[in-house]
Structures are given as structure tokens and as C-alpha cells.
Structure 1
Amino acid sequence: MSFLYREYHDGPDPLAPPYDVRSALDEMGDAILSGSTPLDALRDLLRRGLPGAPDRRGLDDLLRQVRRRRRELRDNTRLDGTLEQARALLDKAIGQERAELFPDPSDDARFRESALDALPSDTARAIQELSEYDWRSGAARRTFEELRDLLRREVLDSRFRGMREALANPDPAAMERVRQMMSDLNEMLDRDARGQHTEDDFAEFMRKYGDMFPENPRNLEELVDQLARRAAAAQRLMASLTPAQREELAALMEQTLEQAGLAEQMRRLGDSLHARRPDLAWGTPERVSGDDPTGMGDAVTALEELADLSDLESALRQDYPGAGLDDVDEDAVRRALGRSAVDDLEALRRIERELEAQGYLRRNRGKLELTPKAVRRLGETALRRVFAHLDAGRRGDHDQRDAGTAGELTGSSRPWRFGDEQPIDVVRTVINGVRRTGRASSGAVRLTVDDFEVAETERRSAAAVCLLVDLSYSMALRGTWASAKQTALALQSLVASKFPQDAVQIIGFSNYARVLLPDELAGLEWDMVQGTNLHHALVIAGRHLDRHPDFEPVVLVVTDGEPTAHLMRNGVPRFEWPPSAETLSLTLAEVDKMTRRKATINVFMLAADDRLREFVDEVARRNGGRVFSPSADRLGEYVVSDFLHTRRAR
């Protein structure tokens, strides 16, 4: 047996690896840390698409394609093409008849010429009068029949897509079949309105007339939708013409349907479709500006596609309340942009589904929120970014994924005790089992609890860590707010992963201070209030240190302004700018208390104001801590590096 392999084209690659939704969360993380809500960040991601998936388009890419297609249709569609073709064929038939009559000197020839001269200028009325005319010229008769065939095909094609091909051969039996189809269709719709329609009725209808419906509807509702959209497009075509063109074309259509015996059936169908789909844009004019005449059927197809593209553009913009990807019609995407665009849309929907299914997003009272798992992921990502900028070789602060966070190995071991978290010394454990039991005949070694030994590590002291983050509005104005949140998340993640014995507390301060929980940190927004109350933040930090008297104290302050508020005895914050002597005095008093607790305060200054520099220099003089002035994009690197330096020194 032989096998032939080729590239797979029918949809997404079935052998592609599972989608890693964490990369999507990382992309959302930057926007969330900058102040966007999770919902806005998700929408931005869906609009852009994932940078790591260049073969997948976002909503903006799909939207650009839709708009480009709309421009092409508008620039290449001219709605009066059928009228122009009808006039041209009419003039050709009359010219051929005159050429036949001119050489004839008889009175009959002159009478016929006068009849041709008296024809009305209106194309529809001229065609109606000539329908009873006895043509002398065989060529003129054939041209006139061509004109009538053209109108019959275009009028029916404007209501039934593909009817033009079905009537390409002017066979009376074909027209009789069209009349019977229209009658059966209206009867089926009437039965459905009475609640008597069955699936067998539709199957029988499609068995008889399926070749007239190239879109191959699967049920009556799909058929009604297809016919209604096309009928609405035909009405939009009429509304888009000038009044004179509209009147002339309407007369031609009415005359053609009457001659074909379809006028009454077409009116019944139009009324039924309008009643079933009143939501469609019936009679709304469409602006087009093509140069080449377009036949009526093709013009209706273009307007139908323009309506689909307009609805699709609205859905892809996602700029209305309650918008979601489920609002995007997959069939409309397939018709407008092809199968690959449907695959792109499904990939975007998978992002949204997987973020919730894998526990990164949740909906609370209709509001999209980050879960604790997502916050931990953002912290890990922030920490990886910080370590990526640190000199791992010199500092030794690389991303460590294996065991050993409790301390460095000393090379010795001791018997295992209940509650030990140190790694098992496998070699010495097995040796103890062999010594106790000897080598078994089967070669197996049986171990007991007494055989286990653990590798000893250096003792690592616990630390009480306080990170004080400025939440004032100036942080947002200077563009440092996202960096401050990312730094706080990175420090939280570092302590949780490498120093689990430490007690970390993140304190935000503006007009007053408050403890920030890790789960609320990512979605935290700046406070649009006056005041930088470092005094209150130091008071809360002092309480945290006092609750852990045996822990090594670590205090880190991130701010872009000098203290301008303090907490009064009644618990109400008081703001003054420039800073009052009382505010500075109370804040420095808390600095002195930290010094007595042997807590070094390191300040990360995000602005170069003279008053701020004077204040932090005074803090350093009193406390012995250090002052850093990093740029916003290197804040996380400075804070994490300083924390690690402090921990090693301790």
C-alpha cells in the first residue's frame, strides 16, 4: 500500500499543540497594570490578536478586511446597469427594424416608421407597446426577445440568487417550473404561519426545487432568512436610484412579472418575508459610485453583501454595551472573508473561553475579574521580567525552579523528623536501609521511617517585609503607576516563591494608607485625591513589624512626592501643600521609630523634585537607609535587587 501526504488546509491544524492561555494573560497584564479593567484589557487583546501567533488575525485585522471589501463594492457597483442594458437593446431593436423598413417604399413601411417615431421615451412603456408589434426584421425580433429574456432573468435573479443561470435557456417549461415553485413556496409559508409546517414538507420542497437555491438552506428558517435578506437588498436598490430611475425600473419589473404570470405570487412572497424579518433594513438607500453598469441581480447581490458587511463591521467593532464574540455571525464571516477568517474568529473565542475555563478570569455580578490564580501569574511574569534585566551571573538572582528555597545545602545530613521540609538525601537513606536489613535475594531494599535522612541547609532567618507604594494621582500623571504595581506584584511573587517564611505586607498610601491584598493589587487604581500620607503608611508598617518581633525588618518606600498629609488623632487625614511643619515632623517621628526597631528604610524616588530630595536625604540621615532614583521601567529591578541584597546581608 502507498500513502500520499500533503499540507492540511481544511481548518485549524488538528495536530497543533494545545493553546497556552497564559501568554494571553501576560499580554493582558500590561494593560491591567496600567489601569485598564480586565474586560477592557481582554477586548484590547482580542482586537490586536496575540503577537506570538502571527498566523492568527485579531478583530482589528478582520475589521480592516471588512472595510476594504465594502469600499471595493461601493467603488465598483452601479445600480442602473439593467436599465442601461434594456435601453441599449431597445435602441438596437428599433434601429434594426428601421434599417429593414427604410428601403421599402410601401405605405405599410411608412406607417410602421411613424409608429416607431411615436414610441414613448419611457423604456417600460415603449417595451409594453412593442410587445404587440409585428416585427418585419428577424434580427430586431431576436433582439427584442433578448431584451425580454434579460429582464425576466434579472428581475427573478434579484429575488432568487442563481435564478439567472436557471433561466439561461428560454424554455417555456422552465418558466412554468418557476411559477410552480413560487406557488409551492407561498403555500409552505402559509402552512408554517398556521403551525402546520413539518420538516418533511421542507425536504420535499428542496427535493423538487433545490437546484434553484444554490445556498442550500438546511431548513425553512434558513431559506426565509436568505430570501428576506435578498428581498430587502432589492428594496434598498430601488431606494438608492433617482426618482426617475426608480419609476422606470419599477414599471419594467411589474411588466415583466405580469407577463411571466408571477406578479401576484411575488407580492405574496414579499409581504410574507417582510412580516417575518421586519428587522432588516428594508428600503434604506445605499451610496455606491461605480463606473461600470451592473446588472440588477448582481447589484442586489452587492447590496446584500454590503448589508452583511455593515452588520459584520458593527459586531467586530465590539463598541456597544454587552458586546461579545458570540455576537459575530460565523456564517457572515465565512461569506465575507472566507474559511480562514472563521478559524481566526474561533481562535479568539478560545482565548476568552479558556481564560475562564482555566481559572484566570471569573464573572462576578456580570463584571469580569481576575482570580487569585491570575494575580499570581501576573506576579510571576513581573518577576521574570525583573530577573531578565538583572545580571544573573554577578548577583546570583536568577529564576530558580527547583527545590532548596529554605537555604543553601551544607553537604551534611540528619535523620528526618516530622514536619521537615528539607530535601531527602536519597543516597544516605538507601544506605541506611541496606545496613539495617542487608541485601535481599531479590535485590530490593525495604525502607522504614527510621532510614530516612534529609539534607541539611543553612538556617535562613525570616523577614517582615513592608513595601509602601504611593497611590497618589501624580503617579498616574507621570506614567509610573503601572511600574509601581508591577514591582509590588514581583516582590510579592518573589517572597512567596523564594522566601515563604517571610511575612510581606504591601501598603498603599494617598490621603490615607491601607493594606493591599495580593488579589486586589493587579486591578488597583490610583486615588484621585489630594495627599501623600507617608505618615499613616509608616504607622501601619510599624504595626506589621511589631507583630513579627523576631523577624528581620525590611521597609521599602516607592514614591514620587514629599509627604503632604498626615493622620490626625481623630483618624481623619489632613492635607496641606506645601507640606506643613506638622506633617513633616510626624512623618519623621515615624522614621525615628523605624530606626529604633532597627528597620532600615530604603526609598525609591520616582521624581527629582527638590523638596522630595531634601526629605528623603533627611530620612537617610536619620535612619541610615539608602536612596535610589530609578527610571520607571527599572523600578522593579531596583526594588527586587535591593530586597535580595538586604536578605543576603541579614
Structure 2
Amino acid sequence: MPNSSVAPGGDRRRSRYGRYTGGPDPLAPPVDLAEALDAIAEEVMAGYSPERALREYLRRGGAGREGYDDLARRVAERRRELLQRHNLGGTLQDIRKLLDEAVLAERSQLARDVTMNDDDRAFREMQMANLPASPAAAVNELSGYDWQSTDAREKFEQIKDLLGREVLDQRFAGMKQALEGATDEDRAAIREMLQDLNALLDKHRRGEDTQQDFADFMRRYGEHFPENPRNVDELIDEMARRSAAAQRMLNSMSEEQRRELMELSAQAFGSPDLMTQLGALDDNLRSIRPDLDWSGSEDFSGEQGLGLGDATGAVQDLAELDELAEQLGQGYAGAHSSDIDLDAVKRQLGEEASVSAETLAELERAMRESGLLRNSADGSLRLSPQAMRRLGKTLLADAAKNLSARSGARDARLAGASGEQTGASRPWEFGDTQPWDVTRTVTNALQRTAAEESAPSARVRIEVGDVEVVETEARTQSAVALLVDTSYSMATQGRWVPMKRTALALHHLVSTRFRGDQLALIGFGRRAMNVDIDELTALPPVHEQGTNLHHALLLAEQFFARHPSMNPTLLIVTDGEPTAHLEADGTTWFDWPTHPETLRQTVTQLDRVTRRGARTTFFRLGDDPGLERFLNQLADRVGGRVTAPELDDLGAAVVGEYLRFRESGFGEVDWG
């Protein structure tokens, strides 16, 4: 970001730029809600709830963007790497090395010292040669030894110092480094801190502590707590997590390793008092936070040894990775992207992963706040009318593209039939054939040019975005019944989503470009029903047999009867012969294969519909010869026709047929 300053003698400002470190990149592109909406809608149309569809999209991620599953996989890899790279014997290895160096230095000194009594030398050499194989037992045996070598004495003191710093590092991260080279006064100060900390925790357990007690403690010892807790509860939470991790680390060791460390710990700083204080601290923390995992263990199997403090940190990392895995899984009730600890993602997986997680959280927030998703009365998430319009517009554009590809030229029918001008204008869209509103178009161009150029120009450039067209009234009105097969075979054969996409494209065309027309959406499975577009979009497939075209035609006839002055259009999308019909008492009759009575009822009802003048087209899905013969016979009977589009072309086929019927009354397009 720039830092500006005024140059001497003038008003010119100079700026220096550096890396932006104040949070999310302000120049980063916004999240792509259109892509997310398309993906979510596809899942919704396949039968998922919008809530689940949103969760699935966030798990998969978008184009070129990691999803939660990708991050969870990296978490699992990180966890596996920690376990396979490390082992818990680092401290024992370091002690063994220091012990070997001390013994070697002592033996060398004994061999060089010519003033020493031979018996004394022989006794000492025998003592060095017969030390126990156990590092703990050897250190314990040598704790009172009178070292002759200064170097050996220093090495042995380093063992005590290392043990002290390691056991403290188990409970206080970073203490191993902080106490390196510490004096006796420093160690005494640590013991005093532990005494005061245990006193504070004891008071807290009894409910007698105050915020002033905590403030006094932090004023004296705050340097040992870089997390900067604000109260005693935060202090306890951080320390208890570390202490529980230390216990799980010990649980993860072999029985021999634990025994060695327990015996060695008594030598920490050369005084058992430290372990007494640490034991009291662990007891206090365990009693205050029994809910933490104090009994778990991990299976470290690598070659790189870790000291006690680093091993405890590794166990803490494993616990944090487990929490991240649960957060990223989003499998619990009420899961939300805001639950994910972005700081933990950054610590464990790095900056890039943190940015990915933050982007996904921003996308979920934007989807919920943009108006594309809304909460229904029952608390569930639904696609909003705004989302339905955006989806319909996209799907209609796809249908228009396919229509254009069919004819080899721009399909102008999507503009609507020209009629009387309404007096209004609107921005030009692809496919429009209405006349330009010249005044509005030139005004738009002038305003845009004036805004873009500092100096006025005598020339006016008209761009596509400037163009507005005159709105016109349509000269005909149609009542369109779209009957869509919702039997289970539509879902099993991959026709469920294309069917819904088709209905949504046609609905958008009618509701935005031919507002005088009426559209009925009728789904038919074992029974038929009138459905709104949002109901059809969210309709899940039901494992139920039956294709009740008879009931659907009955509802279509009722729809046409309500709009007697409109031209009736009947569009039927199906992948199977009728196997059910509605009885006089309202019950459903089902039989497979097609029963003669079902066939008779269906044909009779189709005749009733077409006697109202309905122009009919069947859209046959699949290659069933029986269905092909049946639909061809129905089409011949009522003067309709049958088309067999590919699934990708179904939307264009239905939209094109609607437009063909709409225009056939005044012959604007030759469809021969």
C-alpha cells in the first residue's frame, strides 16, 4: 500500500509501495457467484436440497479453486507426514549422546592423570565400564559421582539442564529455548512461578480467585505466556490443552521409554522439586478440564527423534489437524464456513490454503447475503426468485445458442412477435428484432462518451451496450401446457436434470418475453400435479412406478378451459408408455406393461384436449421402439408430431416448438 509524502518546495506527492499485509487482498477478484449458482442449481435439480447443494459445492470447490475436500485431504497428508517422519525418542537419544560423551571424557582424563592413586583409578574405570545399559539408571548412578574431568562434569550437568528444560517445554512451549544457558536464579524464578501458578489454580478450583489475582500473576510472569490470555479461563484453556497433549505424548511412548523418562525426570535441574510442582500443575489442570483427551495416544513411526517439548507440540498439531478435519468435513448439524479456524489452517497448511478456506467462507457468505438463497418458513434454504430468474436466463441463452446452431443463423424468434409499441424501451439483447429506440440509443452513447473522454469529441461512437429497442405488444396470446414425465426412470436414465433445465428455460422465456402468455407446468409420475417452477426445480425423484399421462392430460384440459381465448399449445416430454390412469373415484390404476384400459383412457383424454384446438408435440426421450410406435400413433391421431432430441438439445427443441406454434398463426418463419 502507498505511503505518501509532500516533496519539499512543492505539492507533488511521492508514494512508496510495499506488500499489502493488512488482511485479504483488496485487489483480489470477487468470488464468482454465477458459477456457484449454476453448480448449486444443478445439484438442486438433481434432487438435493439447496442447503446440501451449497455444502457439496463448497466441498468440491469451483473452477481452479480448492474445496473443503481438497483441504481435508491436505490435512490428512499433513497428519500422516507428522507420524511417519518422527519418533518420540529424541530426548532419550540426546541424553544417551551426552552421557556417552561424559563417560568418554572421564575415561580420557583417568588415563592421562598420572597423579591419581592406581586403586582409585582402577575403581573409577571399573565404575565407568560397568554402568547400566539404561540411561536413567546410569544417570542416577552417576548423580553423586566426583567427576575428574571438567568436560565430563559439564556434559553431565547438561543432562540435568536438558531434562529440566524439556519437561518445562512440555507444559510451556518455547521454554526449552528460553532457559538455555539459564542461571540458578533463573531456575529459582521458574520454580517460584510454578508455585504461584498452582496457587492461582487452586483458588480458581475453589471459586475464590478474582480478576485482580490473575492480573497480578500476569504482571509478574506474563513473559512466559506469549498467547497473552485475557483472563484465568483463557490461561487454563491454553495450558490444559498443552498438558493434555503432553500426557497423550507420554501415552504414545513405549513402556520402556516412559519408565526411562520418569526416572530421568527426577534429575531435572538436579532437584526433584521441579517435578513435584509440575505434577501438581497437571493435577490442577486435569481436574479443571476433565473434558479434554488425557488418555489418547498416537503411533509415531519415523526416524527423526523429537524432544519432549517438540513431541508435545507435534501431538498438539495432530489434535489441531483432527479438529480441522472435522471443521472441513462440515458434516455436523448447523455446519457453516465460519466454523473453520483460518488461523489453524494457516499454521498447519500454509498461507495458500488459508486463502482458499477464506475464499470459500466469503463465497458462502455472499451466496447467503446476495439474495440468491433464502430461508423458507420451515427454516430450510431455498433458491430465491432472483436465483431462478438468473438460472432461467442462462438456460434460455443456451437454448437460443442451440436454436441458432440448428438454423445456421441467429434465431430471431426469441425477441417475440412484433406488435403495437408499448411506449417503453429496454436494452438490446441477442436475438432482438424490434426497432431501435434511436433517441435512447444516441443519448446513452453521448453520456458514455462524455464520461470516458476528458475532451469533447465531435464524433459519437455507438457501442452494443448503448442500444435500446422499442418494446412491443405481442399480437397473439398462447396457453402453453408443458407436461413433463417425473417417473423414476427419468432419474435413473439421466433425464431428470435436462427435463428441469428445459422447463426453467421455457418458463423464463414466457415470463420475461411473452408476458401475455400463460404457462402450466404439469409433472406426471404415478399421479400428475400442477407445479410452480421452483417446486419443479427442487422436486426430488421418487422411487415409485407409474407414468400417468392420462391424469396429466386431464389437468391440461382444465388449464386450457380457464383460458378459452388463447391459442392452446400442448408439449409433452416423456420416456415411457403410459402405465397408469386416474379412476372415476380419484384413485390411481397402475399396471405394467400398458393395460388396454390405461391406453383407452389416455387416448380418450388426448382427444378431448385436442378438440379444444391444442397443437401437440411429443418429445420422445430414449430409443424404446414400443414408445416410438405409441407416440407416432398418438401424433398421427391428433395431427401432432414427435421429435426425439438428444438430452443436451431438449431445451432448444421445446423452446423452438413453442415459438413455432406461436408464430405459425401469422407465418413469419418458414419451418419447412
TM range (shorter): 0.7 to 0.9
What's the offset of the Cα at 1:105? 5.4
Query: Which of 413, 418, 429 does residue 408 from structure 1 map onto?
Result: 418
Q: Which residue of 2 aligns with 1:388?
A: 401
What's the offset of the Cα at 1:146? 1.6
Query: Which of 186, 200, 213 does residue 174 from structure 1 map onto?
Result: 186
What's the offset of the Cα at 1:284? 1.2
Deviation digits for residues 326-346 of structure 1 (CA, Å, limit 9, x no counterpart): 432333223223455444333
Query: Which of 87, 99, 103 does residue 78 from structure 1 map onto?
Result: 87
* SS in structure 1 of the partner of residue 529 of structure 2: strand
Is the CA contact (8 Å cut-off) linking 2:399 and 2:652 kept in structure 1?
yes
Deviation digits for residues 533-569 of structure 1 (CA, Å, limit 9, x no counterpart): 1111111101100110100111100000011111111
The aligned length equals 610
Q: Which residue of 2 aligns with 1:549?
A: 564
* SS in structure 2 of the partner of residue 95 of structure 1: helix
For normalisation by structure 1, the TM-score amounts to 0.87
165-174 vs 185-194, which deviates more?
185-194
Q: Which residue of 1 aligns with 2:45?
A: 33
Query: Which of 376, 392, 413 does residue 379 from structure 1 map onto?
Result: 392
593-602 vs 353-362, which deviates more?
353-362
Separation in 2, partners of 1:191, 1:601: 85
What's the offset of the Cα at 1:247? 0.9
2:358 counterpart of 1:346 = yes
Q: Which residue of 1 aligns with 2:304?
A: 292
Alignment of 1:284-323 (within 5 A): 284-323=296-335
Separation in 1, partners of 2:305, 2:639: 85
2:124 counterpart of 1:112 = yes
Unaligned runs of 5+ in 1: 415-421, 429-453
Separation in 2, partners of 1:511, 1:172: 87
What's the offset of the Cα at 1:26? 1.9
Separation in 2, partners of 1:330, 1:545: 58
Separation in 2, partners of 1:397, 1:367: 41
Query: Which of 91, 99, 105 does residue 90 from structure 1 map onto?
Result: 99
What's the offset of the Cα at 1:59? 0.9
Structure 1's 296 and 496: CA in aligned 2 closer, same or farther, altered over 3 A? Answer: same
Alignment of 1:4-153 (within 5 A): 4-16=16-28, 19=31, 21-51=33-63, 54=64, 56-102=65-111, 104=116, 106-153=118-165
* SS in structure 1 of the partner of residue 632 of structure 2: helix
Separation in 1, partners of 2:73, 2:59: 11
Q: Which residue of 2 aligns with 1:449?
A: none
Q: Which residue of 2 aligns with 1:448?
A: none
Q: Percent identity?
A: 46
What's the offset of the Cα at 1:229? 1.9
Separation in 2, partners of 1:375, 1:235: 55
Q: Which residue of 2 aligns with 1:242?
A: 254
Separation in 2, partners of 1:155, 1:141: 22
Q: Which residue of 2 aligns with 1:433?
A: none
Structure 1's 119 and 412: CA in aligned 2 closer, same or farther, altered over 3 A? Answer: closer
Is the CA contact (8 Å cut-off) linking 1:240 and 1:287 kept in structure 2?
yes
**AA partner of residue 608 (structure 2):** K
Deviation digits for residues 103-157 of structure 1 (CA, Å, limit 9, x no counterpart): 5552112222333345433322321231211111112111111221111111111
RMSD of aligned residue pairs (Cα, Å) = 2.8
Separation in 2, partners of 1:73, 1:424: 68
For normalisation by structure 2, the TM-score amounts to 0.85
Separation in 1, partners of 2:423, 2:350: 66
Structure 1's 85 and 389: CA in aligned 2 closer, same or farther, altered over 3 A? Answer: same
Separation in 1, partners of 2:534, 2:68: 30
Structure 1's 612 and 343: CA in aligned 2 closer, same or farther, altered over 3 A? Answer: same
Separation in 1, partners of 2:422, 2:200: 89
Is the CA contact (8 Å cut-off) linking 2:265 and 2:275 kept in structure 1?
no
Separation in 2, partners of 1:526, 1:166: 64
**AA partner of residue 285 (structure 2):** L
What's the offset of the Cα at 1:520? 0.9
What's the offset of the Cα at 1:182? 1.3
Separation in 2, partners of 1:239, 1:159: 16
Is the CA contact (8 Å cut-off) linking 2:395 and 2:501 kept in structure 1?
yes
Structure 1's 382 and 240: CA in aligned 2 closer, same or farther, altered over 3 A? Answer: same
2:206 counterpart of 1:206 = no
What's the offset of the Cα at 1:199? 4.4
Is the CA contact (8 Å cut-off) linking 1:511 and 1:531 kept in structure 2?
yes
Q: Which residue of 2 aligns with 1:443?
A: none
Q: Which residue of 2 aligns with 1:3?
A: 15
Separation in 2, partners of 1:294, 1:193: 34
Q: Which residue of 1 aligns with 2:583?
A: 568
Is the CA contact (8 Å cut-off) linking 1:361 and 1:374 kept in structure 2?
no
